[in-house]
């Protein structure tokens, strides 16, 4: 008879009545309690009803994603002229590190009042990727409502690295879907995809439902007669934030904002990354969350900062290869505030 050890969780608090809970399972953001314009506190993250469910986490609630966030076409790529095959788990393609990616691993955590740090050792051959990789992620919550996520990784052999966090937000605290949320994304271009979610080209957002350069409600855009929206069942597309070189470790800059008119909550997203995946929870139907009613499609949205999808098979593949002696670094900040506060 064996007894399973429960995964530890850690909570950060600030002076604005916010609390963020992080699990060592998947280094996942489990909850983020925050006040609205009336001072009423609610959880703005989607999540599972208990800690055990995070061991499977088929929809990646809150988790850190690796070694490769987003997709690799057919899981195939070349590394220094050698063909490689990563695990495939989504319509014949690699998605989010495979079924047993970082989102299901048990990380080693240490915590203080100011921060939670988590470490993971990914062995050579993990999901088909070469080399041993040591990863560290640190969460820090300040009194201005900014949750910073800082990533570092080192390796002993050349290997792709592309990390991201995958929180699902609903700024109304789950009282309705996210259709009335007003979103703004500072990007002139996005990546069109095929039916498997693999990029097929870069397109101008002008004149399309993907143009969020000025704030617009999410819900009406989901109903536009657009082939890309129909293909994905909503938004599941990468916005191009970076320059043509698409190098990592760009300057930290604000790239997106989301406002919920009902609660007054505003989410600001800043990142060093070249890509921002906007996803509207198109596959949430029937997923059991913390409420009695299972989640439905579009009950949450994600803004995932990372390199470009399938970048390993493009002209900028070298920018996402980590080599011995180098350190992968990334910073993404989610800041919650109340409009007018």
Annotated catalytic sites, by residue?
166, 304
Distance CA(101)–CA(103), nearest Å, equals 5
Nearest to 145 by CA among 337, 340, 338: 337
Backbone angles phi, psi at 295, to 5 degrees: -65, 155
Write out the DSSP string of 173-219.
Answer: TTSS-STT-EEEE--SEEEEE-TTS-EEEEEE-TTSTT--SS-EEHH
The alpha carbon dihedral of 9, 10, 16, 17 has a sign of: positive
Distance CA(206)–CA(94), nearest Å, equals 30
Q: Output the six-digit token pair for 10.
A: 């850690």
331 half-sphere exposure, CB direction, 13 A CA radius:
14
268 half-sphere exposure, CB direction, 13 A CA radius:
13
Residue 85 region by backbone torsions, left for phi larger than 0, else alpha for psi between -120 and 50, else beta: beta
Distance CA(133)–CA(68), nearest Å, equals 12
Element (DSSP H or E) covering residue 276:
strand 275-279
């Amino acid at each position: 008879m064996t007894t399973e050890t429960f995964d530890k969780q850690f909570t950060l608090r600030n002076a604005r009545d916010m609390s963020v809970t992080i699990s060592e399972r998947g280094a996942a953001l489990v909850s983020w309690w925050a006040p609205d314009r009336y001072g009423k506190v609610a959880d703005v993250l989607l999540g599972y009803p208990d800690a055990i469910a995070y061991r499977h986490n088929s929809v990646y609630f809150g988790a850190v994603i690796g070694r490769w966030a987003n997709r690799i076409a057919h899981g195939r790529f070349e590394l220094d002229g050698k063909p490689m095959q990563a695990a495939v788990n989504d319509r014949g393609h690699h998605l989010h590190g495979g079924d047993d990616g970082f989102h299901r691993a048990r990380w080693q955590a240490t915590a203080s009042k100011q921060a939670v740090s988590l470490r993971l050792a990914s062995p050579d051959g993990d999901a088909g990727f070469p080399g041993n990789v040591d990863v560290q992620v640190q969460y820090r919550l300040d009194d201005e409502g900014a949750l910073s996520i800082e990533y570092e990784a080192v390796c002993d052999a050349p290997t792709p690295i592309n990390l991201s966090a995958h929180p699902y937000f609903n700024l109304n605290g789950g009282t309705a879907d996210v259709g009335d949320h007003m979103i703004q994304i500072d990007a002139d271009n996005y990546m069109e995809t095929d039916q498997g979610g693999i990029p097929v080209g870069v397109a101008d957002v002008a004149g399309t439902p993907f143009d969020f350069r000025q704030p617009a409600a999410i819900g009406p855009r989901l109903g536009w007669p657009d082939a890309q929206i129909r293909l994905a069942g909503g938004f599941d597309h990468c916005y191009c934030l970076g320059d043509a070189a698409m190098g990592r470790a760009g300057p930290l800059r604000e790239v997106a904002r989301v406002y919920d008119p009902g609660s007054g909550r505003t989410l600001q997203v800043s990142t060093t990354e070249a890509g921002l995946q906007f996803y509207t929870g198109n596959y949430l139907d029937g997923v059991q969350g913390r409420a009695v009613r299972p989640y439905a499609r579009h009950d949450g949205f994600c803004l995932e900062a990372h390199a470009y999808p399938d970048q390993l098979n493009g002209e900028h593949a070298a920018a996402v290869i980590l080599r011995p002696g180098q350190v992968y670094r990334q910073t993404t900040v989610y800041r919650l505030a109340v409009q007018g506060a």
